[in-house]
Amino acid sequence: MTVILEVGAERADEVVAVIHQAFADRPVLDPPATALEETEDSVAAALAAHGGLLAIHDDEPVGALLFVDDGPLLGLRRVGVLADARQHGIARLLAERAAETATDRGKRGLVLEARAELPATVRFWALNGFVEVGRDGPRLHLQRLLPQTFTLALPEDTAAAGRALAGTLAAGDLVILTGDLGAGKTTFTQGLGDGLGVRGPVTSPTFVIARVHPSLGDGPELVHVDAYRLGDGAELDDLDLDTDLDLAVTVVEWGSGLAEALSADRLELRLERADDDVRTLVITPVGARWADVDLTRLV
């Protein structure tokens, strides 16, 4: 059985022991990692300031991390799992609990540093929703922004949410919009187009796959794409959307699993229909573009 505990300075001895053993098993890096220089005092100070996590498996400490306050984000450092415990999914449990802690602390997401010389570690974080937002030599800066969930109680709220989101968008932004038939994807996009001030009408582009709506003012145009009938990413590439991305706000309906390669910075939206009127809107920001954008007041 595995338990993930949020801990303070009182567990510093166990946390530093995990850090030392976990990092001692890693390859020698250039420049070298400094985790082995941590002491019980330095770890206690870090835990007293911002806390951390300790993973206990079969009554033994096997994984740990330290939290760092990074403004709107919650930083993670010294993430380590003992080699003998890595087959139990401890690192994934630590990542999930860290996301819960970030939510509890009102943070928009998580940030950490990984080394390019450790591709398996980088791949692990990518599989857990982290994307590279910068690098300093071999040090990669990885970030995961957390989803925001909104309840749209009335039919008109769906279009209103689109209009509100338009106020945060600029040329070059990509919105990937998914949801079941009738969930309100086109209604949402109509509101977004209204908020952007583009030439309408904005309708489902199913039969033409993509429509371009020019701005009626000096704002960006809207490129509205329906990927429902596209078989794979190659067919999406054939539309040459990347040539328009810098000049337009691009909305791709049914784009999940297809359109992510268009941009490392994007908003992934999912609309779910609770009943005839009520919808749930889940917005997951991805990439450095959205780290400092407050999406909590859209509805």
pTM: 0.83
Instruction: Name residue 144's amino acid.
Output: R
Q: How far is CA 69 from CA 2, 132, 189, 196, in A?
A: 26, 19, 36, 35
What pLDDT tens digit does each residue of the chain (299 aa) get? 899 999 999 999 999 999 999 999 888 888 888 999 999 999 999 999 999 999 999 999 999 999 999 999 999 999 999 998 888 899 999 999 999 999 999 999 999 999 999 999 999 999 999 999 999 999 999 999 999 999 999 889 999 999 999 999 999 999 999 998 888 898 999 999 999 999 988 887 665 577 889 999 999 999 988 876 665 554 555 555 555 678 899 999 887 887 788 888 999 999 998 877 899 999 999 998 998 888 877 76
Instruction: Sort residue 240 into left (φ over 0), alpha (ψ -120 to 50) or beta.
Output: left
Cis peptide, bond prior to residue 220, ω within 30 of zero? no
Which residues are registered as beta bridge partners of 61?
Answer: 56
Q: DSSP letter string over 121-143?
A: HHHHHHHTT-EEEEEETTEEEEE
Residues ≥6 apart with Cβ < 8 Å to 228: 206, 253, 254
Superfamily of domain 2-145: Gcn5-related N-acetyltransferase (GNAT) (3.40.630.30)
Residue 33, pLDDT score: 83
Q: Where are the domains of the chain?
A: 2-145, 148-290
Pick the CATH number of 148-290 from 3.30.2290.10, 3.40.50.300, 3.40.50.150, 3.40.190.10: 3.40.50.300
Contact 178, 255 (CB under 8 A): yes
* Cα 76 → chain centroid: 15
Tokens found for residue 47? 């835990």
Residue 194, pLDDT score: 95
Q: DSSP letter string over 15-31?
A: HHHHHHHHHHTSPP-SS
Cis peptide, bond prior to residue 201, ω within 30 of zero? yes
The Cβ of residue 164 has, within 10 Å, a number of other Cβ atoms equal to 18
Would you say the C-alpha torsion 238, 239, 245, 247 has a positive or negative sign? Answer: positive
Residues ≥6 apart with Cβ < 8 Å to 12: 40, 41, 43, 44, 47
Residue 200, pLDDT score: 80
Residues ≥6 apart with Cβ < 8 Å to 189: 162, 177, 202, 224, 251, 253
In terms of C-beta density within 10 A (0-12 exposed, 13-18 middle, 19 or more buried), how is residue 158 classed? buried
